[in-house]
Amino acid sequence: MDIKDLATLPRGEMTARPAQPRARGRMLVSAKLRAGRSRISDLHQSGSLKALFPHGSSTALQAVMLNTAGGVTGGDQFALTAEAQAGAHLVLTTQAAERIYRAQPGEVGQVRTMLRVAAGARVDWLPQETILFDHCALDRRLEAEVAPDARLLVVEPLIFGRGAMGEVVHSGHFLDRWRINFGGELIFADNLMLSGDLQATLDRAAVAQGARAMASLLLVAPDADRYLDRLRAALGPSGGASVIRPGVLFARAVAVDGFALRRHIIPAIQALSGADIPKTWTL
Amino acid sequence: MTSDPALLLHQWLSPSFPVGAFSYSHGLETAVAEGQITDAASAQAWIATALEHGAGLSDAILLAAAWRAEAGDPGALIDLARALAPSAERLVEADRMGAALARALTALHGHDLPDAPYPVVLGRAARLSDIPLPLTLRLSLQAFAANLVSACVRLVPLGQTEGQGITLALMPLIERLALQAEPGDTDLIGTSAVLLDIASMRHETLNTRLFQS
């Protein structure tokens, strides 16, 4: 078969490609409080996962994550552990949207995130959008250990297909598993899973009615209920928010595309974090 | 006392069994109020999604895991079942129905049942009464669907026969999901009924509410 034949072959049948090198990325970042500011206490990075620490006026430590592999495909493995020690405030975001590329059949990309929030500390996990390409395969897990008087904010926006290119995700696998422990007790879990013809699932009533973007938002904080009204106002009629149990505020939103989603997510992050959103979000 | 599993399950899952199932719409009351459910076709579409991509299948997996669990502390399973609730009202729905089911079955059968969400209690009780898991899964999924149909019949409203038509149409899906849930592997729980979750969250601020969820 020559190149010309390959070009006309349905893409799903191109299974004979030789195995590609797989990306690996690991990082540990820990923030400590010293002289009223949060600073780097510990930092280890290897492979395709890097962090930048822009200087700003904030007393929080901001880490901007960078995937130097340019995205995630089947077989890639990324693992991040981020920690805020007692009293520290760590804000994590990404330099760009994370692209989940077409995976080879049978291969799944793995992304693992562990967040540890010590007494009186705070972690804001605010990555930019994850964009799922057609034929993506991603298994993502987020675990958090939150001390009783600590705060955790998690916002995960998700876009299905590159809308600007008219891409529709007709095949793929996406599992995003959250496990949030508070004082050693499992207080929140979410298994968001779409598999097969993702757009057909999104088109269903009670899933997304054809929308191609969604977000899940979680605030764990002793005073989480105080943010409920502001969050509802930010999300508008296409979102919902609930204090599931004391100290646990969860919300979901859907939007026709990533642009429309940002119009709700940015004010939602501002309402929940009580601070300006990371600069990378607005560039 | 009979040990006929079909007779026992029929009683436990009947709308008149004192667990208050009729008072929970699982968020569908919002979907009706906001004009997303307007007729039998849209009601069936929402209920099918609740079964396949929402609590229907995930509760069935939790039920199977509880049925299969050996005696001992079901604490981790109970914690997971409660933690998976996407809204305050959905947690209340699962907790209160579970507590009521445990009270009734303890009184009737003397079973030692945990204080747990509904599917975990039902799975344990079925095991203790030697009711086969496949039958328990099929009938509990059908009871879940029938309860939501009944809510739509009252809210939309739909004709009684129209409502029964929905339950009948969903039976092939129910049979498939019961098989899928049978291994009870909680790692395979996955939901995507995002608008249903949102509807249950928005139910908290709905002006007129007939249902508790």
**Identity of the residue in A207, A242, A251 whose CB atom sits nearest the CB atom of B192:** A207
Chain B residues within an 8 Å CB radius of A175: 190
Task: Determine, for residues A244 and B91 on separate chains, whether the beta-carbon distance falls below 8 Å.
Answer: yes
Residue B58 domain-assigned (yes or no): yes
Look at chain A and count its residues.
Answer: 283
Residue B41 domain-assigned (yes or no): yes
Chain B residues within an 8 Å CB radius of A240: 87, 197-202
pLDDT of residue B72: 66
> How much of chain B is in helix, strand and coil states, percent to nearest 5?
70, 0, 30
Residue B45 domain-assigned (yes or no): yes
DSSP label of B191 = B
Task: Determine, for residues A240 and B192 on separate chains, whether the beta-carbon distance falls below 8 Å.
Answer: no
Mean pLDDT of B18-36: 97
B188 has pLDDT over 80: yes
**Identity of the residue in A185, A195, A206 whose CB atom sits nearest the CB atom of B46:** A206
DSSP label of B75 = H
Task: Determine, for residues A240 and B87 on separate chains, whether the beta-carbon distance falls below 8 Å.
Answer: yes
Distance CA A227, CA A231 (A): 6
B1 has pLDDT over 90: no
Domain that holds residue B79: 24-201
Distance CA A275, CA A269 (A): 8
Q: Using one digit for the tens of pLDDT, what is the confidence trace for A246-267?
A: 999 999 999 999 999 999 999 9
Amino acid, res. B68: R
Task: Determine, for residues B190 and A193 on separate chains, whether the beta-carbon distance falls below 8 Å.
Answer: yes
Amino acid, res. A155: V
What mean pLDDT, rounded, does chain B reach?
97
Higher pLDDT residue, B204 or B1? Answer: B204
Residue B125 domain-assigned (yes or no): yes
> How much of chain A is in helix, strand and coil states, percent to nearest 5?
20, 50, 35
Residue B206 domain-assigned (yes or no): no
pLDDT band at B70 (very low <50, low <70, confident <90, very high): confident
Task: Determine, for residues B194 and A180 on separate chains, whether the beta-carbon distance falls below 8 Å.
Answer: no
pLDDT band at A141 (very low <50, low <70, confident <90, very high): very high
> For the complex shown, is ipTM > 0.85?
yes
- Give the total number of structural domains in chain B: 1
pLDDT of residue A283: 62
Mean pLDDT of A98-121: 97
A4 has pLDDT over 70: no
Chain B residues within an 8 Å CB radius of A220: none
Residue B118 domain-assigned (yes or no): yes
**Identity of the residue in B79, B192, B195 whose CB atom sits nearest the CB atom of A186:** B79
Shortest distance between the Cα of A63 and any Cα of chain B, in A, equals 29
We report the CATH number of the domain holding residue B160 as 1.10.4190.10
Shortest distance between the Cα of B8 and any Cα of chain A, in A, equals 33
B89 has pLDDT over 50: yes
Q: Using one digit for the tens of pLDDT, what is the confidence trace for A213-233?
A: 999 999 999 999 999 999 999
pLDDT of residue A199: 96
Interface probe, candidates B152, B201, B202, chain A, greatest A C-beta count within 10 A = B201
Mean pLDDT of B77-103: 98
pLDDT band at A17 (very low <50, low <70, confident <90, very high): low
Distance CA B209, CA A154 (A): 31
Residue B8 domain-assigned (yes or no): no
**Identity of the residue in A195, A242, A254 whose CB atom sits nearest the CB atom of B201:** A242
What residue ranges do the domains of chain A occupy?
24-281
Q: Pairing between strand A89-94 and A109-117?
A: unpaired
pLDDT of residue A64: 97
Q: Using one digit for the tens of pLDDT, what is the confidence trace for A186-197?
A: 999 999 999 999
pLDDT of residue A19: 60
Task: Determine, for residues B89 and A241 on separate chains, whether the beta-carbon distance falls below 8 Å.
Answer: no
Phi and psi dihedrals of A269, rounded to 5? -65, -40
Phi and psi dihedrals of B155, rounded to 5? -90, -40
The answer to whether residues B181 and B63 touch, using CB atoms and an 8 Å cutoff, is: yes
Higher pLDDT residue, A10 or B56? Answer: B56
Chain B residues within an 8 Å CB radius of A237: 34
Percent of chain A with pLDDT over 70: 93
Residue B196 domain-assigned (yes or no): yes
Q: Is A31 strand, coil or helix? A: strand
**Identity of the residue in B86, B190, B193 whose CB atom sits nearest the CB atom of A206:** B193
B39 has pLDDT over 50: yes
Question: Does residue A249 belong to the interface with chain B, where contact is any CB pair within 8 Å?
Answer: no
What mean pLDDT, rounded, does chain A reach?
92
Q: Which residues pair with A159 in a beta bridge?
A: A131, A213
Chain A residues within an 8 Å CB radius of B151: none
Question: Does residue A250 belong to the interface with chain B, where contact is any CB pair within 8 Å?
Answer: yes
pTM given for the model: 0.94
A39 has pLDDT over 50: yes
Chain B residues within an 8 Å CB radius of A232: 205
A8 has pLDDT over 70: no
Half-sphere exposure of A31 (CA within 13 A, CB side): 31
Interface probe, candidates A201, A204, A248, A256, chain B, greatest B C-beta count within 10 A = A204
**Identity of the residue in A190, A195, A240 whose CB atom sits nearest the CB atom of B201:** A240
Shortest distance between the Cα of B195 and any Cα of chain A, in A, equals 5
pLDDT band at A20 (very low <50, low <70, confident <90, very high): low
Residues 6+ apart with CB under 8 A from B118: B19, B59, B93, B94, B97, B98, B101
